[in-house]
């Protein structure tokens, strides 16, 4: 188990296009494990490899709903339907949120940690997380597609 350093908005690595994963190596398996550890430690619902400084097309997602925990290697969103508008955050911009409109339903083709093809269908939060994390692989951050400027999260007491 290893927690990696999460890169913050403003760092160049978050603006680069990540490369496809050609084969699963022990090094990449460790990266995936570390990405889950790092995401859970930061209490996030998703993390993309460039957020830990690695330009590989890998994302991890866990919405904390049953069966909604995945690693997606070389993900491609092949279908988008509907619309949802709601607040979104990112571990690379801690303490901030903004309203983002996303599809309410997506179908995503990817490979799993064994490089086997999988199809993930997501609605609501899972659809939002898939879109957000896939954007990271192309250097897109949510403020680029948000309906407003980022604002501070208000802490309710
Ligand atoms: Ni993010």
How do residues 45-104 score in pLDDT, each as one tens digit? 999 999 999 999 999 999 998 888 999 999 999 999 999 999 999 999 999 999 999 999
**Domain CATH for 19:** 3.90.45.10
Q: Which of 133, 148, 154, 157 is catalytic?
A: 133
Ligand 1 center from residue 87 Cα (angstroms)? 13
Average pLDDT (10-20) is 98
Q: Is the pLDDT of residue 146 over 90?
A: yes
Q: Is residue 157 part of a domain?
A: no
Q: Is residue 127 part of a domain?
A: yes
Ligand 1 center from residue 23 Cα (angstroms)? 25
Residue-level pLDDT at 111: 98
Assess whether 123 carries a catalytic annotation.
no
Q: Is the pLDDT of residue 157 over 70?
A: no
Ligand 1 center from residue 141 Cα (angstroms)? 7
CA distance 119 to 101: 23
CA distance 63 to 125: 7
Q: What pTM does this model have?
A: 0.96
Instruction: Give the structural domain span for 100.
Output: 12-152
Structural tokens at position 150 = 């980022």
Q: Is residue 74 part of a domain?
A: yes
Q: Is residue 21 part of a domain?
A: yes
Q: Is residue 32 part of a domain?
A: yes
CA distance 89 to 78: 24
CA distance 49 to 31: 8
For the chain, how many structural domains are there in total? 1
Q: Is residue 118 part of a domain?
A: yes
Q: Is residue 106 part of a domain?
A: yes
Ligand 1 center from residue 9 Cα (angstroms)? 10
Ligand 1 center from residue 139 Cα (angstroms)? 10
Q: Is residue 5 part of a domain?
A: no
Residue-level pLDDT at 67: 83
């Amino acid at each position: 188990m290893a927690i990696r350093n999460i890169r913050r908005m403003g760092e160049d690595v978050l603006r680069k296009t990540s490369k496809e994963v050609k084969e699963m190596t022990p090094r990449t398996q460790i990266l995936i494990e570390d990405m889950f550890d790092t995401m859970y430690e930061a209490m996030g619902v998703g993390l993309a490899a460039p957020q830990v400084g690695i330009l590989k097309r890998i994302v991890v997602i866990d919405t904390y709903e049953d069966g909604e925990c995945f690693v997606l290697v070389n993900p491609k969103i092949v279908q988008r339907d509907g619309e949802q508008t709601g607040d979104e955050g990112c571990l690379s911009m801690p303490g901030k949120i903004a309203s983002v409109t996303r599809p309410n339903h997506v179908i995503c083709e990817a490979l799993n940690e064994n490089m086997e093809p999988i199809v993930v269908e997501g609605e609501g939060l899972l659809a939002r997380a898939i879109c957000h994390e896939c954007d990271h692989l192309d250097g897109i951050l949510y403020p680029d597609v948000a309906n407003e400027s980022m604002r501070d999260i208000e802490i309710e007491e």
